[in-house]
């Protein structure tokens, strides 16, 4: 920065602002180092607030994922998202659901939601999901969903491992819904 003309209106000043804005965003959403001179307390509070807001937005796209994790939702999401910049709420939730599925930590209602999405949309984890043109089957955690002409039906619910309540009504019955995004 030495020798930069001070207060010269013809000098192009944008690089400085652009770089510093990029540093701040990276520190807030991608685990980047704190930009010099920023107070750490407000920076940490902003980072936490962004993660809460993101968790809320993802929960709206993935209601069963969020609901089935219950009180653990916000911390589970925050732990996963801390160093991952958002790819949009649909993909954030999808990536997290797949990660939990790989760890066998995806609750059955969330597995059914994931299976339905896998049947409806083609998603390679890198590019935005696109509608499938042909009939498809989606599977996750024992759940099987089938999509025909853009309509998704859950064929088989994910198995519940909880003890049987004995009332004769499967708790999966209510989740065998037509899901159309």
Q: Is residue 46 a contact residue for other proteins (CB under 8 A)?
A: yes
Q: Is residue 70 a contact residue for other proteins (CB under 8 A)?
A: no
The C-alpha atoms of residue 175 and residue 30 are separated, in whole angstroms, by 36
The C-alpha atoms of residue 63 and residue 114 are separated, in whole angstroms, by 11
61 vs 118, which CB is nearer to other proteins?
Answer: 61
Number of H helices, E strands in the chain: 6, 6
Q: Nearest to residue 112, comparing CAs of 77, 161, 146? A: 146
Could you write out the three-class secondary structure of 110-129? HHHHHHHHHHHEECCCCCCC
By CB under 8 A, the residues from 77 to 106 that bind other proteins are 85-86
47 vs 98, which CB is nearer to other proteins?
Answer: 47
Q: Looking at 51-59, 69-77, 126-134, 149-157, which segment touches other proteins (CB under 8 A)?
A: 51-59
Binding stretches for other proteins (CB under 8 A): 13-14, 16-26, 28-30, 36-39, 41-43, 45-46, 48-50, 53-54, 56-57, 85-86
């Amino acid at each position: 920065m030495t020798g930069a003309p001070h207060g010269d209106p013809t000098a192009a000043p944008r690089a400085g602002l652009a770089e510093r804005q990029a540093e701040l965003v990276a520190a807030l959403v991608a685990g980047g180092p704190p930009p010099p001179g920023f107070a750490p307390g407000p920076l940490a509070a902003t980072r936490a607030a962004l993660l809460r807001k993101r968790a809320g937005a993802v929960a709206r796209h993935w209601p069963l994922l969020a609901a089935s994790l219950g009180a653990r939702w916000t911390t589970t999401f925050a732990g996963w998202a801390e160093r991952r910049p958002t790819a949009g709420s649909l993909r954030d939730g999808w990536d997290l659901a797949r990660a939990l599925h790989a760890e066998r930590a995806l609750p059955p209602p969330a597995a059914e939601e994931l299976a339905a999405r896998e049947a409806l949309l083609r998603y390679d984890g890198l590019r935005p999901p696109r509608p499938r043109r042909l009939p498809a089957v989606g599977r996750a955690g024992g759940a099987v969903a089938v999509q025909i002409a853009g309509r998704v039906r859950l064929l088989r619910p994910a198995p519940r491992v909880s003890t049987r309540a004995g009332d004769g009504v499967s708790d999966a019955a209510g989740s065998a819904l037509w899901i159309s995004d």
